[in-house]
Amino acid sequence: MIRTSAPVEAPAAGAWEELVTTALLGTDRRRPPGGAGREAPVALLDAAALQTVRRRAGLRPAPAAGRPEPAPADPRPPLPAAAARRLALLLADRPGTGGGGRRGTAPDLMELLPQWLAAANAHGYAPAPQALPALLDAARGRTDLRPAVLAFAGPRALWLARLNPDWRFALRAAPGGSASLPGPEDTDRIRRLWEEGLFAERVALLAAMRARSPAAARELLAGTWAAERAEDRLMFLDSLRTGLAPEDEPFLEQALADRSRNVRATAAELLSALPGSALAARMAVRAGACVAVDHTRGTPTIVVEAPHECDASMERDGVVPRPPTGRGERSWWLGQLLDASPLDTWSGRLGGRDPREIVALPVADDWQGDLHAAWCRAAVRQRDARWARALLGPPASPGAGGPGAVSLAERAKLLGTLDAGERAEWVAGFIAAHGLSEAFQLLGVCAVPWSAPLGRAVVDALNIARDAGSYPWSFSGVMGLAERCLDPAEASRLDALMAVPDETEDTSPGAGGYWAEAFQRLVTTLRLRSAMARELDPAQPG
* Shortest Cβ 364–other proteins spacing (Å): 58
CB within 8 A of 311, min separation 6: which ones?
none
Nearer to other proteins by Cβ, of 210 and 521: the residue is 521
In contact, 449 and 487? CB cutoff 8 Å? yes
Rounded CA separation 508/380 (Å): 42
Rounded CA separation 252/264 (Å): 9
In contact, 347 and 353? CB cutoff 8 Å? yes
In contact, 153 and 167? CB cutoff 8 Å? no
Nearer to other proteins by Cβ, of 370 and 483: the residue is 483
* Shortest Cβ 96–other proteins spacing (Å): 12
Nearer to other proteins by Cβ, of 145 and 160: the residue is 160
* Shortest Cβ 397–other proteins spacing (Å): 38
* Shortest Cβ 172–other proteins spacing (Å): 19
DSSP H or E segment with residue 171: helix 168-173
Q: What DSSP assignment string belongs to 394-425?
A: -TTSHHHHTT-SS-HHHHHHHHTTS-HHHHHH
Indicate the SS3 state at residue 275.
coil
Nearer to other proteins by Cβ, of 131 and 220: the residue is 131
* Shortest Cβ 419–other proteins spacing (Å): 33
Nearer to other proteins by Cβ, of 134 and 265: the residue is 134
CB within 8 A of 309, min separation 6: which ones?
none
* Shortest Cβ 61–other proteins spacing (Å): 4
Indicate the SS3 state at residue 290.
coil
* Vertex 456 angle, CA 451 and 459, to 5°: 125
Nearer to other proteins by Cβ, of 10 and 57: the residue is 57
Report the phi/psi class of residue 289: left, alpha or beta, with left for phi > 0 and alpha for psi in -120 to 50: alpha
Residue 302 gets which letter from DSSP?
E
Nearer to other proteins by Cβ, of 156 and 349: the residue is 156
* Shortest Cβ 12–other proteins spacing (Å): 15
* Shortest Cβ 123–other proteins spacing (Å): 18
